[in-house]
Amino acid sequence: MTDTCAPGPGIPLTGRRSPDGYLPLRDYAAIGDGRTVGLVGIDGRIDWLPVPDLNSEPAFAALLDAGRGGWIGMAPEAPAVVERRYVDGTNVLETTFRTAAGTVRVTDSLNSGVAGRLPWTELARRVEGVDGTVPMRWAVRPGDQWRTSAPWAARRGDDPVLRVGTVQLAVRGEGHQPRTDDRSVTGAFTTAPGSRHLLAVVGVDDQPVPLPGAVHIEDRLDLSVESWQRWSASCSRGREIPPDALRSALALKLLIHSPTGTVAAAATTSLPESRIVAKNYDYRYTWLRDTAYTVAALQRLGVREEVHAATTRLLATVTDDGPEPPPFTTLQGTAPGGRRETDLPGWCGIGPVGIGNDAAHQLQLGVFGDLLSLVDSYLAAGHVLDAVSAETVARMLDRCCDLWRNPDAGIWELPHRRHYTSSKMGAWHALTVGARLADAGHLSGAADRWRAEAAAVAEFIHRECWSDAAGAFTGYAGSDQLDASVLLGHDFDRGERMHRTVDAVRARLGRGPLLYRYAGMDREEGCFVACSFWLVTALVKLDRRDEAEELMAQLLPLANDVGLFAEMIDPNTGEFLGNLPQALSHLAHLDAALTLADHPEL
């Protein structure tokens, strides 16, 4: 595979941005504070930063609107080559610029405080001279929040304050004097060996704006490094975690919304899955599926606080939301509104840019399996359900018995209702686990019914969803078309049929180490990153470890230079497509890595 987009060590910045101002998606790293996420381009420009929450209307959104979206820049005036990395065990980014005259290092952090998450958003950009002299320029230029507000600047003493809608942004500079015009704040300085400068942006929404001193912001940057490293140490306690797996765990941690415990599917909206077909979606919501996978993965790492928060929030949402578990909710746990489209151009002019998601009220039978996976992981760690949650889970199992015979929208949220195989496998998993938990005394309910219905689901899958012509479990009943999501059914069947399914999926949906989601997608979109890691896990579970290790070795270099994955990858160019960082991609990678580590003898 030729990867024309991925930056390597010392990559020149010249020509990285397109003529209309967009970077390749591979060129972004992510920083966060447990509430929001910023995307930092390889050229030092932050092109995406919502304030204060990940799903707020972004004050900086040049990622989707290079002309009016807004950005925060910090870069040398002269041409430079770049190397970057995360500080070990953190989501704090270091970017090193090398010019003909000298070298400078920029450290980017969305800070936390002594007690954890700050009550405001605090971006700290520390600039250190390494050698020589490097003239630097910076700018803070808010956007217009989806064309709804006009930014304007004011001064409070020596401190510029930018306003856009209800968001206020205080700009602090240390070691240099900011300049303010009507809509932005800019500045310049020159580094020398051992010099240190600071640019900080402190943001609030509809609140008084704090003006912390530069020394306190610097201290919190160092504290944030220590906090991230303590969290990473808790993940690796008692076991060796491969560095790439720890990076995926840290990427997931960025997407956990700490005020609520929910897990965002991605940090962005409307990054295109294709350059050919309009497939742009808003992933700034929490999917039950992603939450279940996150709980299972973090549970395996020994993380407790986030596991408990995510589990209790999801169970409360399911309890309050009605007879079926919702496929997804807002990060705040409320029902999503419908999708509306804006007139923003979109990344590289590929629209539409949409806010909201119309799939919230679909029937997706797989969510029953996701819910029971989450509960099973939680209980396996020695925790205990409360009476209300246990009653809710039992009610959901009864509802699964009622509904599994119906067609649904499937894991891919498709408009055509069918008897999708992976949905039936999810229903089988829910009922099988539910009966086992009832036998163990964790649930009270109709365990005999759940067990009998699980057997009926299994019989349906083997009768209706297996194709002799395809030699595989197919995407939906009565079809010969393949779907990589059936790889998630490795616990349903580990016999000859699943072995043949794995081989068929690799042969017909594979492009190198990557997989398309289902038949026909090679004409519409890139390969779905999570599917390839699902394949790794399935191979391990089917006692095909050598193949799993070989595939994993081919997949890991497809991450970008700081170890992040988007939703999709173009198999011809290596270009990232879709929203990023993508929770499901990193979840699938982490699960595959831990499965390989946990099954050394298979």
Tell me the pLDDT tens digit for each residue of 121-144: 999 999 999 999 999 999 999 999
Distance CA 173, CA 196 (A): 11
Average pLDDT over residues 357-362: 85
* Domain boundaries 11-230, CATH class: mainly beta
Distance CA 96, CA 78 (A): 14
Per-residue confidence (pLDDT) for residue 248, from 0 to 100: 98
Distance CA 57, CA 46 (A): 16
| Statement: 236-598 belongs to CATH 1.20.1730.10 | no
Per-residue confidence (pLDDT) for residue 348, from 0 to 100: 97
Q: How confident is the model at residue 15 (pLDDT cuts 50, 70, 90)?
A: confident
Average pLDDT over residues 300-310: 91
The better pLDDT of the pair 155, 23 is held by 23
Per-residue confidence (pLDDT) for residue 552, from 0 to 100: 99
Helix, coil or strand: residue 70: strand
Mean pLDDT across the chain: 94
φ and ψ at residue 149, rounded to 5 degrees: -145, 150
Helix, coil or strand: residue 202: strand
What's the predicted TM-score (pTM) here? 0.95
Q: What does R_g of the chain's alpha carbons equal in angstroms?
A: 24
CB 195 within 8 A of CB 209: no
Distance CA 517, CA 487 (A): 11
Helix (H) or strand (E) holding 60: strand 58-60
Q: How confident is the model at residue 229 (pLDDT cuts 50, 70, 90)?
A: very high
Per-residue confidence (pLDDT) for residue 346, from 0 to 100: 97
Q: How confident is the model at residue 256 (pLDDT cuts 50, 70, 90)?
A: very high
What residue has token string 């910090």? Answer: 74
Both tokens of 18, joined, read 């397109």
Parallel, antiparallel or unpaired: strands 340-341 and 466-467: unpaired
CA angle 17-23-27, nearest 5°? 120
Task: In the chain, list all ranges with CATH 1.50.10.10.
Answer: 236-598
For residue 523, pLDDT over 80 is answered with yes
Both tokens of 576, joined, read 């990232």
For residue 1, pLDDT over 50 is answered with no
φ and ψ at residue 160, rounded to 5 degrees: -70, 140
Per-residue confidence (pLDDT) for residue 238, from 0 to 100: 65
Per-residue confidence (pLDDT) for residue 584, from 0 to 100: 98
Per-residue confidence (pLDDT) for residue 237, from 0 to 100: 65
Task: In the chain, list all ranges with CATH 2.70.98.
Answer: 11-230
For residue 6, pLDDT over 70 is answered with no
Per-residue confidence (pLDDT) for residue 568, from 0 to 100: 98
From 561, 587, 594, 563, select the one nearest 23 (Cα to Cα). 561
Per-residue confidence (pLDDT) for residue 344, from 0 to 100: 95
The better pLDDT of the pair 178, 347 is held by 347
Q: How confident is the model at residue 2 (pLDDT cuts 50, 70, 90)?
A: very low
CB 580 within 8 A of CB 271: yes
Both tokens of 548, joined, read 């799993």
For residue 371, pLDDT over 90 is answered with yes
